[in-house]
Amino acid sequence: MMNVNFKSQLLTVYKLHEDVSDLKYGSEQAACFDISSYITFQTCIKAYTKNNSLVEILATQDGEGKNFIDLPAEWRALIPTGLILDIPEGHSVRIYPRSGISSKKGLNLINCVGIIDSDYVEQLFVPLYNNSQEKIRIYCGERIAQGEMVLNNPTIFAYTTEKPKIKTDRDGGFGSTGI
């Protein structure tokens, strides 16, 4: 069980079905909680081919009755989680890829980091990209991403008519500080 301290924030989670996997921390020192897929037999999952055509992938079952989809190479899919997050105002949830499925399978988030605002109260979908050259099987209940709730830090913009002054001897960007 995770040690709750004074810095912990409450994230209310609604399960669309009783058998949806809980959000869980992998260890007491884990920075993010794991998010699992929720794939039901014969449901259609929205996907995009490598040519950007919108298609649907029909979920099926293996010989043991486990629900899954096969995501073809270089395709993207919006994987359902069966969860609705009630994020407190002033916070957001950041979704990151899991290092294990990224390195071992080649599954990554489409947008590198997903951001869920507190005013989004629909089912959480994890947008995955298969960047391998083989189809990848994604099972119901498989840990597919990780998340963290963060306090928003809104930025105040101050526009000026004066160009900012050089602050260091740095010359440019994109590798200008060395190799």
What's the pLDDT tens digit per position in 134-148?
999 999 999 999 999
What is the predicted pLDDT for the residue at 125?
A: 98
Separation between Cα atoms, residue 167 and residue 139, nearest integer Å: 52
Whether 22 is covered by a domain: the verdict is yes
| pLDDT tens, position by position, 95-141 | 999 988 899 999 999 998 999 999 999 999 999 999 999 999 999 99
Residue 169 has what pLDDT?
A: 75
The DSSP call for residue 100 is: H
167 belongs to a structural domain: no
In a domain, 163, yes or no: no
Is residue 165 in some structural domain? no
Residue 172 lies in a domain: no
Whole-number Å distance between alpha carbons of 128 and 109: 5
Instruction: Look at residue 5 and tell me whether its pLDDT is greater than 80.
Output: no
Number of domains in the chain: 1
Whether residue 177 is contained in a domain is answered as no
- The beta-strand segments (E) located in 87-132 are 91-97, 107-109, 114-117, 123-130
pTM (2 d.p.): 0.87
Domain that holds residue 96: 12-151
Element (H, E) at 101: helix 99-104
CATH number for the domain spanning 125: value is 2.70.40.10
Residue 175 domain flag: no
Distances (CA, A) of 20 to 1, 35, 42, 95: 20, 10, 17, 18
159 within a domain of the structure (yes/no): no
As a whole number of angstroms, the distance between CA 32 and CA 106 comes to 20
Position 113, amino acid? V
